[in-house]
Structure formats: C-alpha cells, structure tokens
C-alpha cells in the first residue's frame, strides 16, 4: 500500500500525540491529521501533520465522536484511515465501536473485554499473580460503602498509594478531586480523602496499595506491539531516570535511559498475551530496593506518553503497526542501541537526582553513544515558533521539577 493511501488520524494534543505523528512520518513519510478540541504547543506550527480543531465536548460524546470519524472517512474516500489514540477512554471507545468503524478505519486495539481487563487494576493484578509475578499488597475501596473502609484498609501497612481502580475514571472525575496517584501516611488521612470524593459525587472503586520505597530510578517502563495474530512483534525496556511530578502527570516518565532488560521483556510478553491485548501496550514496573524484586504496577492497552523512547533505542512501533495492517509478520524488534529520551532539561541528570555514581556513569556513556533525544526537537519540523515553544517548555519543566520535586525522596513522591 502506497504511503498516500494511508492517513494516520491522531486524537489529542500532547507530547505523546506529536510523537505518534512523528513516528509515522519518519517510518513512511506519512502526513497525519491531528484532531483536537484545543490549541496546544506540541501540535502547533508543525509541517509534518495537519490539525483540525473540533468543538469542545465532541470527543467525550460517543455519538458525536463516531459521527466525526464518519465525516473524516467521507472527506478521504480513497485512503485507509488509522485511528491513533493514547487515552484509556479513547482505546475503550475504539474497541466498543469497532463494528461501526471498520473496515474504513484500522483499529490497532484489542476487543473490549481485553481492554477493560487491562484497564482494571484488580484484573491486572490477578493476571500477574496467576503468572507468578509479584505485585504490591493491595485492597479495594468502594466509595459507595464507607462502612467497609476500615476493614478494607486493615490488611495494609502504611504508607499507601491510592489510585482509581479503572484508569478511565480519572478524566471523568478529575474536577471532583480524583487524582491519578495520592500517598497517605495513615488510615485517617486516607479516609478524609475518601470522604471528600464521596461528598463530591465520586462513586467508584479505588485501588489502595502499599507504597514501595525507591526514588524515580527504581522505575522501569516497557512498551511494545502485538499484531492481529497475537504475536508480540516489539518489546522495548527503559529505566526511568526522572519522572514528571506535576499532579496531572505524576507517574509519567520525563527522562529514560534505554537499557535492555530481557527478563522484564519476557514477562511483559507473557502478560499481554494472557490479557489478550492487540496493538500498542505499555507497562510500569518498580524494582523494590529492599530485595530486588520486580513489582508490576500498571498495564495500559495503549502506546503511552513517553513511547518515543523506543525510537531512540532503535524500535519502530510505526513499522510494526504498518506490517500488521498489511497482514505481514513483522521481524521482532527490541532494544538495539543505547540512548536517552527526555522531555526534561538534561542538566537535571545531576548528582542531586542521580545519586548512584554507577548510574551516572551509564548515563554519561549513553550520552556519548547518542545525543539525548527530545521528541519535540524534530529536524523535519523547524518552524521558529516551535523552537520558541520548546525553549519555554524546557524552562517550565525545570521550574515544575524544582517546585514539586526539588530533591529525590525515598519513595519517589
């Protein structure tokens, strides 16, 4: 299929969405269409894609979203359309509406049952346990049954981490005070949070898990691709050097050292196969500094915000997906070279945040092997306003790090 026969349609406005368009442009010269409800720096003034701004509320309303995609299909009758989303809600939407969208739209996502299984923290932990993989001690709190909260917390040792049991609930209840991750040192503090959410009308289940010690450098990310036949055709691993610590982005990697970890990759393949995923996936793992165990934290049935780190390591997820679209078996891809992915100023990779001298030495070697890569710094996208935005974004990231995480902590929070 010729490149002008394909149209990647990216939904969103973030760094992940710019990176989505970038990997397809680099892999096959494809010019994407980016759909957003707002103007934001990462998608402004680009020469590698077009932007269509739609009315606010379109993407959150299922029928309006489907109608939008039908109109895009009518406007591009000769092209195969690729729906590229990077949100839990977006993936669930694509999985639910597969019958209405195919065959005009190629949807690199699993059936809805597998997507919901991946997005459910409890289901994910059950799959991990069945495979013999370690997970943090945990409990579930239903905000609708406050009389059970004490019992729910009684089996856990504080401090604990609280997060939505279903990831797609986060955006829906953000305005009512729900947060991606909250840390509590006592049951009293946790109960105060539960009560405030309940009073605000939040009536969901929360996952409460024991806090695993270790700063950002104990975190690992794993990303890859599963084709329509269930073959894992790409798996890459990276060690987080620094995470993002703004409340909205807590848990996202800001700087990643490309480092092969065959054992994590092998277990990741077992996990996504057991869940039944298709298309893109991302996983978070934390190495417990007390005993060296790998503790599996999250599985996302989507590409992940920091996915461009794989390209830095020599893995091309766009080529994996295009081979899947063509019905071809893609050669397996894994880490091929050292490197550093970052959306943070490299000056932060210093003794303050990287306290292990051996790790700092590995970072120096990686910097010598390949210049650190910021996904927004694209040689094919040289508009002066993009340079200005990237400079301002770098300064803002520095300020945010100094504000929310001025020095590393034993927990990473």
pLDDT at 1: 53
Model confidence at 250, pLDDT cuts 50, 70, 90, reads: confident
Q: How far apart are CA 180 and CA 163, in angstroms?
A: 6
Q: Are 318 and 28 in contact (CB under 8 A)?
A: yes
pTM, two decimal places: 0.94
Give per-residue pLDDT as tens, 386-411.
999 999 999 999 999 999 999 999 88
Percentage of the chain with pLDDT > 70? 99
Mean pLDDT of 37-49: 97
User: Residue 270 — left, alpha, or beta (φ > 0 → left; ψ -120 to 50 → alpha)?
Assistant: alpha
What's the chain's length in residues? 413
Give per-residue pLDDT as tens, 172-200.
898 999 998 899 999 999 999 999 999 99
pLDDT at 3: 61
Q: How far apart are CA 293 and CA 361, in angstroms?
A: 24
Q: How far apart are CA 180 and CA 177, in angstroms?
A: 10
> What value, to the nearest 5°, has the Cα angle with vertex 115 and ends 316 and 273?
60
Give per-residue pLDDT as tens, 263-296.
999 999 999 999 999 999 999 999 999 999 999 9
Question: Token pair for residue 139?
Answer: 């409990």
Rg, C-alpha atoms of the chain: 21
pLDDT of 131 over the 70 cut? yes
How far is CA 289 from each of CA 10, 136, 216, 345, 349, rounded to the nearest angstrom? 39, 13, 12, 27, 21
pLDDT at 394: 95
Model confidence at 171, pLDDT cuts 50, 70, 90, reads: confident
pLDDT at 2: 57
Mean pLDDT of 359-370: 95
- Angle of helix 121-130 relative to helix 112-119, nearest 10 degrees? 90
Model confidence at 211, pLDDT cuts 50, 70, 90, reads: very high
| Number of neighbouring beta carbons within 10 Å of residue 218 | 18
pLDDT at 193: 95
Question: Token pair for residue 119?
Answer: 């997005």
Alpha carbon 296 to its chain's center: 15
Verify cis geometry, omega within 30 degrees of 0, for the bond prior to 279.
Answer: no
Q: How far apart are CA 366 and CA 383, in angstroms?
A: 29
Instruction: Give the sheet arrangement for strand 138-142, strand by strand.
Output: 138-142, 205-210, 160-164, 182-184
Percentage of the chain with pLDDT > 90? 92
Give per-residue pLDDT as tens, 53-100.
999 999 999 999 999 999 999 999 999 999 999 999 999 999 999 999
Q: Which residues contact 161 (CB under 8 A, 6 or more apart)?
A: 136, 181, 182, 183, 208, 209, 210, 211
| Average pLDDT value for the chain | 95
pLDDT at 121: 87
């Amino acid at each position: 299929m010729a490149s002008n026969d394909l149209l990647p349609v990216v939904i969103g406005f973030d760094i992940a969405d710019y990176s989505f368009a970038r990997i397809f442009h680099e892999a096959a010269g494809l010019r994407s269409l980016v759909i957003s409800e707002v103007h934001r720096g990462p998608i402004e003034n680009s020469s590698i894609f077009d932007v269509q701004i739609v009315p606010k509320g379109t993407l959150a309303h299922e029928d309006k979203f489907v109608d939008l995609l039908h109109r895009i299909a009518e406007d591009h009758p000769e092209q195969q359309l690729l729906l590229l989303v990077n949100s839990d809600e977006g993936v669930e939407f694509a999985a639910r509406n597969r019958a209405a969208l195919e065959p005009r739209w190629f949807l690199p996502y699993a059936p809805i049952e597998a997507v919901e299984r991946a997005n459910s923290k409890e289901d994910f932990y059950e799959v991990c346990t069945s495979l013999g993989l370690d997970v943090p001690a945990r409990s579930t709190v239903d905000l609708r049954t406050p009389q059970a909260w004490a019992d729910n917390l009684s089996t856990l040792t504080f401090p604990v981490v609280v997060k939505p049991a279903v990831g797609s609930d986060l955006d829906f209840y953000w305005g009512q005070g729900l947060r991606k991750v909250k840390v509590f040192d006592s049951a009293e503090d946790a109960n105060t949070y539960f009560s405030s959410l309940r009073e605000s009308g939040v009536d969901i289940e929360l996952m409460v898990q024991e806090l695993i010690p270790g700063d950002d450098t104990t975190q690992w990310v794993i990303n890859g691709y599963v084709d329509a036949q269930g073959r894992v055709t790409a798996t890459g691993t990276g060690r987080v050097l620094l995470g993002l610590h703004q409340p909205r982005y807590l848990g996202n990697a800001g700087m990643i050292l490309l480092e092969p970890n065959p054992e994590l990759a092998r277990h990741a393949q077992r996990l996504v196969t057991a869940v039944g995923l298709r298309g893109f996936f991302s996983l978070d793992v934390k190495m417990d500094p007390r005993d060296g165990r790998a503790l599996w934290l999250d599985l996302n049935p989507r590409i992940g915000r920091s996915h461009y780190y794989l390209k830095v390591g020599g893995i091309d997820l766009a080529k994996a997906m295009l081979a899947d679209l063509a019905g071809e078996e893609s050669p397996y891809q894994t880490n091929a070279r050292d490197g550093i992915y970052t959306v943070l100023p490299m000056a932060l990779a210093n003794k303050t945040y990287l306290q292990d001298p051996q790790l700092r030495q590995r970072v120096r070697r990686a910097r010598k092997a390949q210049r650190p890569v910021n996904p927004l710094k694209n040689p094919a996208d040289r508009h002066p306003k993009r340079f200005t935005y990237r400079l301002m974004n770098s300064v803002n990231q520095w300020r945010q790090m100094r504000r929310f995480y001025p020095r590393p902590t034993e927990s990473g929070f």
